[in-house]
Copies of this chain bind each other. A is one copy, B any other.
């Protein structure tokens, strides 16, 4: 949904001229989409190459050709997931921190792509190789996110550094909520907790005056 067809054409790369290049791009796109599906549906441990292959509808050879290893496949998937999830993409509107936080949960975190990303993150905690590969991109994303929120908000209690801290707290909470969601069958429960949290942390930030 975030990575729809339109996204392919508006790629930052010179847009794939030759047919072979287009083939490759399409194949990789299909495969990474399948990875996201599998991660969301089965979790990292159960996302085997065979399963991805079947879901993507490509042969074993094709998959191996584009991604020589599973790690490679995951790395590229993470990069694709990180790209549209940027706060720049317009999720944060700075009407109020409380509203933005709820929006961030609903539109970014609590989505198929958000859940898939967390699956990889969780796996990377204990997989050193994977961790090393995705760390740079993750840091870049976090830095960009922090810069964005500092630009949009100011702390009620302290300095600008506190805004970054507060949003880090929010990110940590959202990740924790993610874990809990897979346990709690009750659907309303998560929303209730999310709402109360936003209510509590929201007042500690205020939107900056537009210049």
Interface residues of A (CB under 8 A from B): 42-46, 121-127, 131, 135, 138, 162, 165-166, 168-169, 171-180, 182-183, 192-193, 196-197, 200-201, 204
Contact = CB atoms under 8 A, between A and B. Distances in A.
A165 B196 contact: yes
A84 B45 CA distance: 30
Given A43-B125, A172-B177, A175-B176, 4 more contacts: A44-B126, A165-B192, A171-B180, A175-B179
Contacts of A180: 171-172, 175
- A interface: dominant SS: helix
A126 B176 contact: no
A172 B193 contact: yes
Most central of A44, A176, A192, A196 by chain B CB within 10 Å: A176
Contact of A197 (B138, B169, B182, B183): B169
28 contacts: A42-B126, A44-B126, A45-B45, A45-B127, A122-B179, A125-B179, A126-B182, A138-B183, A165-B196, A166-B196, A168-B193, A169-B193, A169-B196, A169-B197, A169-B200, A171-B176, A171-B180, A172-B176, A172-B180, A172-B193, A172-B197, A173-B173, A173-B176, A175-B176, A176-B176, A176-B177, A200-B200, A200-B204
